[in-house]
Amino acid sequence: MLGINYADFPHLMTMTALIIAGEAIFSLPFHVTRFFRPTFLEVFEFSNMQLGLVQASYGVIAMLAYFPGGQLADMYSARKLLAASLVATGLGGFYFAQIPSYQSLHLLFGFWGFTTILLFWGALIRATREWGAVSAQGRAFGILDGGRGLFAALVGVAAVLVFRSFFPSDVALASDAERIMALQNVIYCYTAFTFLAVPLVWLLVPEPTVDLVNSNSNFNAHRSGLVRRTIDVMRLPTVWLQSLIIVAAYVGYKGIDNYSLFAYTAYGLNEVEAAELTAYSVWIRPVAAVGAGLLADRILPSRATALCFTLMIICFGFLSFDAPDVSQIWILFANVIVTSAAVFGLRGIYFAMFEEGKVSGVETGTATGLVSVIGFTPDIFMGPMSGWILDRSPGLQGHQDFYLLMTCFAFLGLVASVLFYRFARKPALS
């Protein structure tokens, strides 16, 4: 149905393991605050700004880990790197469930920035690129992110059901103890799924098909190879433009984190309804990511990203000026659907741009580290920035200012996509 010629059943199972691991690893640091944000803020007694600063601790450590993590991915087996990362991240979930203090949460999120990026991210991207070979990069990354979206949706529904079970029929009457118990059990739920991924990657992810960099060579030779690969990657204009595309796309992705609070504040949904809106919106992700991947293989990834950014400009621009009407809640749902389709479509293809951008296979980890260092900087600045915007202008005005910022970043992504397409058409540097 997807036009993929699977060599055999193990090939399919490898992608399944990458999908589950690729989403489970980020569920603890991201899903809890995304789907259950109003309750999280109440239980931890945080302001939006404080939560943003905690998330920035993750982002700072992640930025330091992306590039060396990419180098590790070019040197060591993805199976070993992925398994070690999942174990370390899952252990942090047990501490998270104890509702630690503000200062302790900074340390925990910083720890997760290390475990989810240094050992994991570059290895995941390299394994996926090898899985897709030369002709199916859009499909490979589209299936990866689409599958991650499907897994996130299934786990999200399970987490919402667990969450709801600890509330009385009238959610507004829930006690503080009930809210704490509900959130703790959601955290344990995500922790369990993180550990579930460990045996899957260990048993199902094979050794790399592209030669690894010889990590046993002498120090000078290894350093020379590292410098050469880094320079080769940095000479490609498409790598820098791909980095900007990921920045803009990731800002849009972080913007989805605000939907539950927006629905709660501007449309009057209760805590459970707001969580359900965000959790159920991720059901769009499988269709959007796979669809974008198939489209990218037909029209090129850069053209597909330009289309997605255009949709984001329209949707975020509308929210930045529209006054919510609770009698027309369908407008919010429609906007969430279209925006999520564009954002998740981008996530499904922005790493498929390596092939179009002329990055060689042996330099995949290095290139992943470089574009990720720049591309995922929103992990540092978006939390504090969005928290400051929302706290500065409480209520509707703060949310409108936030979505205006989203619109500007989407425009940046559109410009970068057009330039990427033009540079990719030029002959490679010799």
The reply to whether 132 falls in a domain is yes
Q: What is the pLDDT of residue 336?
A: 86
pLDDT-derived band at 429 (thresholds 50, 70, 90) equals very low
pLDDT at 176: 82
- The pLDDT-based confidence of 9 (bands split at 50, 70, 90) is low
**Could you tell me what percentage of the chain is helix, strand and coil, using 3-state DSSP and rounding each to the nearest 5?**
80, 0, 20
Amino acid 97: pLDDT: 94
Residue 305: per-residue pLDDT: 95
What mean pLDDT do residues 19-30 have? 93
pLDDT value for 308: 95
pLDDT of 207 > 80? The answer is: no
pLDDT value of residue 154: 87
Range of the domain at 400: 9-203+237-424
Residue 428's pLDDT band, with cuts at 50, 70 and 90, is low
Does pLDDT of 210 surpass 60? no
- State the amino acid at position 193 in one-letter form: F
Each residue's pLDDT tens digit, 116-159: 999 898 889 888 888 876 566 788 888 898 888 888 888 888 88
In the predicted model, what is the mean pLDDT of residues 7-28?
86
| Residue 71 and residue 226 in contact, taking contact as beta carbons nearer than 8 Å | yes
Distance of alpha carbon 197 from alpha carbon 397, whole angstroms: 42
Is residue 345 within 8 Å of 308, Cβ to Cβ? yes
Which amino acid, residue 109?
F
**CATH number of the domain within which 276 lies:** 1.20.1250.20
| Residue listed under structure tokens 């009238």 | 170
pLDDT of 402: 92
Q: Domain for residue 213, yes or no?
A: no
Mean pLDDT of the region 263-282: 77
**16 vs 273, residue with greater confidence:** 16
Distance between CA atoms of 174 and 43, rounded to whole angstroms? 12
Q: Give me 152's structure tokens.
A: 């996130």
Q: How does residue 196 score in pLDDT terms, banded at 50, 70 and 90?
A: very high
268, pLDDT greater than 60? yes
**Is 57 contained in some domain?**
yes
Let me know if residue 95 belongs to a domain.
yes
Q: What's the domain count of the chain? A: 1
Banded pLDDT at 232 (limits 50, 70, 90)? confident
**Of 62, 75, 36, whose CA–CA distance to 114 is shortest?**
62
Mean local confidence (pLDDT), 352-359: 84
* 209 part of a folded domain: no
Residue 216 lies in a domain: no
Q: What is the mean pLDDT of residues 206-230?
A: 59
CB 304 within 8 A of CB 360: no
334 pLDDT more than 60 = yes
- Please tell me the least confidently modeled range out of 68-77, 225-234, 308-317, 378-387: 225-234
Q: What is the pLDDT of residues 55-104, one digit of tens each?
A: 889 988 988 888 888 888 878 888 899 999 999 999 999 999 999 999 99
pLDDT above 90: residue 233:
no
pLDDT given at position 224: 54
The answer to whether 293 and 349 are in contact (CB under 8 A) is yes
Q: Tokens representing 144?
A: 């990866």
